[in-house]
Amino acid sequence: GAVVSQHPSWVICKSGTSVKIECRSLDFQATTMFWYRQFPKQSLMLMATSNEGSKATYEQGVEKDKFLINHASLTLSTLTVTSAHPEDSSFYICSAAGPSSYEQYFGPGTRLTVT
């Protein structure tokens, strides 16, 4: 149980375009989902926390107009990178927590490359 999927697993896009990444909890309802970004040889940095049906809470320094997060249901959250630039190239990982769980369940990640 507690499986989280992400789609796509990797994507290449041109500078200036937008990319949407989906995060799904497959066998449980996730009241809260989290988005992290990981640059090469660095740690996971929290970008935002999203709760189903409400606006996401962004960490300091993360542009909310550039990284659009939608948590429309208890099993789906999406991250849209708008007007992507090469510096947005990174490994994006979502995670989900159930309503009574300490543990966060991680998706497999999405490798974004902006050319």
Q: Which residues of this chain interact with other proteins, rule CB under 8 A? A: 31-32, 34, 42-46, 49, 51, 91, 93, 95, 97-104, 106-109, 111
Residue 43 or 65 with smaller CB distance to other proteins: 43
Residue 70 vs 104, nearer CB to other proteins: 104
Q: Quote the least distance from Cβ 16 to other proteins, whole Å.
A: 26
Minimum gap (Å) between residue 104 Cβ and other proteins? 5
Q: Measured in Å, how far apart are the chain's first and last C-alpha atoms?
A: 37
CA–CA separation, 80 and 28 (whole Å): 23
Shortest Cβ 83–other proteins spacing (Å) = 26
Smaller CB distance to other proteins: residue 16 or 99?
A: 99
Q: Residue 41 contacts by C-beta under 8 Å, 6 or more apart in sequence?
A: none
Cβ distance to other proteins smaller for residue 15 or 54: 54
Residue 75: closest CA among 105, 112, 38, 36: 105
Distance from C-alpha of 76 to C-alpha of 24, rounded to nearest angstrom: 5
CA pair distance 49, 75, nearest whole angstrom: 15
